[in-house]
Amino acid sequence: MTANFRAPKGVAEYAGAEAAGFEAVLDALADSARRAGYGFLELPIFEDTALFVRGVGESTDVVSKEMFTFADRAGRSLTLRPEGTAGAIRAIIEHSLDKGQLPVKVLYAGPFFRAERPQAGRFRQFSQVGIEAVGSDDPALDAEVISVADDGYRDLGLRDFTLLLNSLGCRTCRPVYRATLAEYLAGFDLDEATRARAESNPLRVLDDKRPELAEMIAAAPTPVEHLCVDCAVHYDQVRHYLRALGVRWTEAPRLVRGLDYYTRTTFEFAHARLGAQSGIGGGGRYDGLMADLGGADVGGIGFGLGVDRTLLACEAEGLTPGTEAGVDVYGIALGENPKSALVALLGALRRAGLRTDMAYGDRGLRGAMKGADRSGAPWVAIIGERDLADDSLTLRDLSSGEQAAVPLADIDGLVRRITAGKEVDDAPHS
C-alpha cells in the first residue's frame, strides 16, 4: 500500500499561485531593507539552546513553552530558532562585524519555529524577513528601521494596517517602572500563573490578551509615564524623524511585545482584517543585548516581519502579489532542426535577462499554443523549417495577435522589442 504523506500540522506550505504570492511578499519586504543599505546575513536554522535562554529571556513564553529543543549525538542541547535577533547578534559578535563601520546593518530571511497550537495566522513553522542595525543609539536609526517596514508593506499595496508605537525606557528608568507596576499588580487577585509572571517579569502581564485581564491592564501604569529625561528625549526624537519620513503611527502606551531584550523604542504593525492574530510584524530597540551575549556594549534595533501573515493581509485587502507573468517569452519549435535553434535562442535570451520557457515533447502548434497561454507569457517565439531557412523566427504578441519576422541573429533587437512591451506594462497607472 502506498503511503499518503502530508505536510506536518502547523506548517505553512505554499504551492502554485500561493507560492508566487509568498515569494513576492518576501521579495518586497527584503527589497525595502536592501534600499536602506542592509546586507544579507545567512543564519543557522538551529543554535545552542543557551543562546535563546540568555538572549530572549528564560521567563518568556517563547523560551519556557514554545521552543523546539533537542539533543545532538554529543548530548548538546540545540534549538530550532524561534526568532532571529539573538542569532544575528551572535553572528555579528562571532564574525567581528562590529569592528568595522557602525552601525552594522544586516538582513535575513527564512523559517522560524515555535511549538504553538496551530490556528489561523499562527504556525509552528513560519517565515520572517528581519533586519538588525547594531552599534548606534541614534533615534534617526530607530525611525529608519520602522520606515523600512512601513515602506515594504506599502510597496505591496497594503493600506489597512496601523503602526503601534511605544517606549519601554532604559536600564535606569525601567526598574523604577517595573517596581511601580509590580506594586499595582499586587493589589489584584491573580491566578497562580499570572501571579508568578507578575513577580518575575511584571511587564509580561501587559502582553496578556485574555479578556478577563483587559480592565486591569487598561488602568495599569504605563512605561511612558516613567521615562527618564534621556529616554523621553529619545522617544520625542524618534517621533520627530518618523514625521520627517511621512510615517504615521498610533501611540500604544501598554505595548511591550513578548521578548525580554526590548528597551526604549518598541513597535508593532497590526492589520485590521486579521482578527485575533492581527500582528504582521514588529520589533524594537535592544540596548544591552550585545553585551549580554559577550560582545561590545553597544545598542541596536531591528524587526521581524511575518511573511505568512503579510500574505494573509494582502489577501484580506484583495491584493494578489506574484501574479505577473512567470515568463517573458514562450518558445515553440516545429521540427527537430528548429528545436535546436530554439534551445540556443532561449538560452541567449535568458543570459540577456529575460525569463523563458518552451513547449517540450514535440507537440504540434495547437497544443503548444495552449501551453503558451497557460504560461502567461506575453510573447511567443515560433521557429519552423521555413523560419530556419530564412534565419528568422516569428514573434507573436499574444495580447494583440500581431506577429512579425525577426532575424535569429538579432538577439539585442529581440530583447529591446520584448522589454519595451514590459516597460509599458510595468508603468504606473493613474
Q: Give pLDDT tens digits along the chain (430 positions).
A: 567 899 888 898 998 889 999 999 999 999 999 999 999 999 999 999 999 999 998 878 888 888 999 999 999 999 999 999 999 999 999 999 999 999 999 999 999 999 988 887 788 999 999 999 999 999 999 999 999 999 999 999 999 999 999 999 998 998 899 899 989 888 888 888 888 888 878 888 887 778 878 788 888 899 999 999 999 999 999 999 999 999 999 999 989 876 778 999 999 999 999 988 899 999 999 999 999 999 999 999 999 999 999 999 999 999 999 876 679 999 999 999 999 999 999 999 999 999 999 999 878 899 999 999 988 899 999 999 999 999 999 999 999 999 999 999 999 999 999 888 654 444 443 3
pTM score, whole prediction: 0.88
Distance CA(58)–CA(154), nearest Å, equals 36
Distance CA(409)–CA(330), nearest Å, equals 18
Sketch the domain layout of the chain as residue ranges: 17-173+227-316, 329-425
Distance CA(366)–CA(364), nearest Å, equals 6
Cell of residue 286, nine digits: 535592544
The reply to whether 329-425 shares the fold of 17-173+227-316 is no
Report the pLDDT value the prediction gives residue 145, as an integer from 0 to 100: 98
- The CATH number that domain 17-173+227-316 falls under is 3.30.930.10
Strand runs labelled E in 62-216? 69-71, 77-80, 104-113, 125-134, 161-167
**Residue matched to cell numbers 530597540:** 285
Distance CA(27)–CA(322), nearest Å, equals 10
CA distances from 178 to 135, 166, 341 (A): 26, 16, 74
Phi and psi at 221, nearest 5°, equal: -60, 155
Q: Which residues of 347-366 are buried (b: 16+ CB within 10 A; e: fewer)?
A: ebbeeeebebbbbeeeeeee
Report the pLDDT value the prediction gives residue 427, as an integer from 0 to 100: 42
Q: Is CATH 3.40.50.800 correct for 329-425? A: yes
H helices then E strands: how many in the chain? 15, 16
| DSSP SS3 for 307 | helix
Are the C-beta atoms of 167 and 266 separated by less than 8 Å?
yes
Residue 344 one-letter amino acid = A
Distance CA(74)–CA(424), nearest Å, equals 60
| DSSP SS3 for 232 | helix
Distance CA(185)–CA(220), nearest Å, equals 8
Side-chain half-sphere exposure of 228, counting CA atoms within 13 A: 12
Cβ-Cβ contacts under 8 Å for 154 (sequence gap 6 or more): none
Distance CA(93)–CA(240), nearest Å, equals 32
Distance CA(70)–CA(265), nearest Å, equals 34
CA distances from 45 to 81, 82, 132, 304 (A): 6, 9, 17, 16
Are the C-beta atoms of 180 and 187 separated by less than 8 Å?
no
